[in-house]
Structure 1
Amino acid sequence: MGACSQLHLHLLPFTDNNPLLFPRHYYKSTNKNTLHFQFSKKTYLSGRKLFLKHQFGGFWRVRMAAMEAETAERFLEEPTTKPGSLGKAVVVGAGPAGCLITLYLLRRGFHVRVFERRSMMDEAKLKGDPRSYPILLTRRGIRAIEAVGLEVPSSLLKNQVGNCAHLLSGKKVKLDYYSGPGIQSCVASRNALVAFLQQSLLQRVSENLVLYFGWEVSTIDDKKGTAKFCRSQKYSSEAETNEQDNLDEIEVEFDLLIGADGVSSKVRSEILRLDQANASQSDNHKSHITLDYIDNPRMYKSFYVRPSLAKESPFIVDHDRVQAWRSLNMMLINVADGSFWGGTLNEELVNASSPPDVIRIFRDKAPEVLDLLLRENPNFAEEFCRQSKMRGGGAVMLSQFHFKNIVLIGDAAHGMFPTYGTGCNAALEDCSILDKILQELTPSDGRQNIPYHLVSAEFTKRRIEDAHAIVEMNTNFILFPRNTLAIIQSAFLRALHKWFPKIFRPTAHQLLWTETRFSEIRAKKYKEDLFFYSILIILGFIVTFSIVILLKKLTSVKSL
Structure 2
Amino acid sequence: MEESTRRPTKKKVVAVVGGGLVGALNACFFAKRGFNVEVYEIREDIRQAKVVKGRSINLALSHRGRQALKHVGMEEKIVSQGIPMHARMIHSLKGKQSPIPYGKKDQYILSVDRANLNKELLTAVEAFPNTKLNFDHKLQGWSAETGLMTFVRSDGSKEQINADLIVGCDGAFSALRKQFLRRSRFNYSQTYIPHGYMELTIPPLNGEFAMKPNYLHIWPRNTFMMIALPNMDKTFTCTLFMPFEDFEKITTGDEVITFFQKYFPDAIPLIGADTLKRDYFRLPAQAMVSVKCSSYHIGDKCVLMGDAAHAVVPFYGQGMNAGFEDCIVFDEIMELFNEDFSAVLPEYTRVRVPDDHAIADLAMYNYVEMRAHVNSKWFLFRKHVDNILHFLLPQTIIPLYTMVTFTRTRYHEAVERWHWQNKVINRGLFFCAAGAFFGSSYLLIKNPPDIDKLVVPAEKMWNRLVALRTS
Q: Aligned to 1:297, what secondary structure does the other structure show?
A: strand
- Residue 321 (structure 1) aligns with: 215
Distance 1:180 1:384, change over 3 A: closer
Residues 451-530 of structure 1 mapped to structure 2, 5 A cutoff: 451-477=340-366, 480=369, 482-483=372-373, 484=376, 485-498=378-391, 500-502=392-394, 505-512=397-404, 513-530=406-423
CA positional deviation for 1:486: 4.0
- Whole-angstrom distance in 2 between the partners of 1:479 and 1:178: 20
Instruction: Provide structure 1 residue ranges, at least 5 long, that are not aligned to the other structure.
Output: 1-24, 26-75, 237-245, 277-286, 443-449
* Counterpart residue identity of residue 113, structure 2: S
* Counterpart residue identity of residue 260, structure 2: F
- Residue 121 (structure 2) aligns with: 197
CA RMSD of aligned residues (A): 3.1
CA positional deviation for 1:341: 0.6
Extract structure 1 runs of 4+ deviating beyond 6 A: 542-550
CA positional deviation for 1:480: 4.3
- The answer to whether the aligner puts 1:179 opposite 2:104 as a matched pair is yes
Distance 1:312 1:102, change over 3 A: closer
CA positional deviation for 1:380: 3.2
* Counterpart residue identity of residue 202, structure 2: V
Residues 90 and 114 in structure 1, CA contact (< 8 A), matched pair in contact too: yes
Distance 1:453 1:386, change over 3 A: same
2:16 maps to which of 86, 91, 96 = 91
Residues 300 and 350 in structure 1, CA contact (< 8 A), matched pair in contact too: no
- Residue 69 (structure 2) aligns with: 145
- Residue 84 (structure 2) aligns with: 159
2:171 maps to which of 257, 262, 278 = 262
Distance 1:138 1:163, change over 3 A: same
Q: Aligned to 2:73, what secondary structure does the other structure show?
A: coil
Q: Aligned to 1:332, what secondary structure does the other structure show?
A: strand
CA positional deviation for 1:95: 1.2
- Whole-angstrom distance in 2 between the partners of 1:458 and 1:337: 43
- Whole-angstrom distance in 2 between the partners of 1:80 and 1:166: 52
- The answer to whether the aligner puts 1:361 opposite 2:263 as a matched pair is no
CA positional deviation for 1:89: 0.9
Q: Aligned to 2:281, what secondary structure does the other structure show?
A: helix
Q: Deviations for 1:299-341, whole angstroms, at most 9, x for unmatched residues?
A: 010012344656262x1xx210011111360011112232211
* Counterpart residue identity of residue 302, structure 1: E
- Whole-angstrom distance in 2 between the partners of 1:340 and 1:184: 18
1:304 maps to which of 178, 198, 201 = 201
- The answer to whether the aligner puts 1:230 opposite 2:152 as a matched pair is yes
- The answer to whether the aligner puts 1:399 opposite 2:297 as a matched pair is no
Larger helix proportion of the pair: 2
Distance 1:172 1:123, change over 3 A: farther
Q: TM-score, normalised by structure 2?
A: 0.83
Q: Aligned to 1:201, what secondary structure does the other structure show?
A: helix
Residues 307 and 338 in structure 1, CA contact (< 8 A), matched pair in contact too: yes
Q: Deviations for 1:74-103, whole angstroms, at most 9, x for unmatched residues?
A: xx2444337x94211111111111001101
Distance 1:403 1:124, change over 3 A: closer
Q: TM-score, normalised by structure 1?
A: 0.71
- Residue 212 (structure 1) aligns with: 134
Residues 93 and 265 in structure 2, CA contact (< 8 A), matched pair in contact too: no
- Whole-angstrom distance in 2 between the partners of 1:326 and 1:78: 47
Aligned residues: 437
Q: Aligned to 1:298, what secondary structure does the other structure show?
A: strand
Distance 1:117 1:309, change over 3 A: farther
Instruction: Provide structure 2 residue ranges, at least 5 long, that are not aligned to the other structure.
Output: 452-471
Distance 1:163 1:124, change over 3 A: farther
- Whole-angstrom distance in 1 between the partners of 2:282 and 2:302: 41
- Residue 414 (structure 1) aligns with: 310
Work out which structure has the larger RCO, using CA pairs closer than 8 Å and 6 or more positions apart in sequence. 2
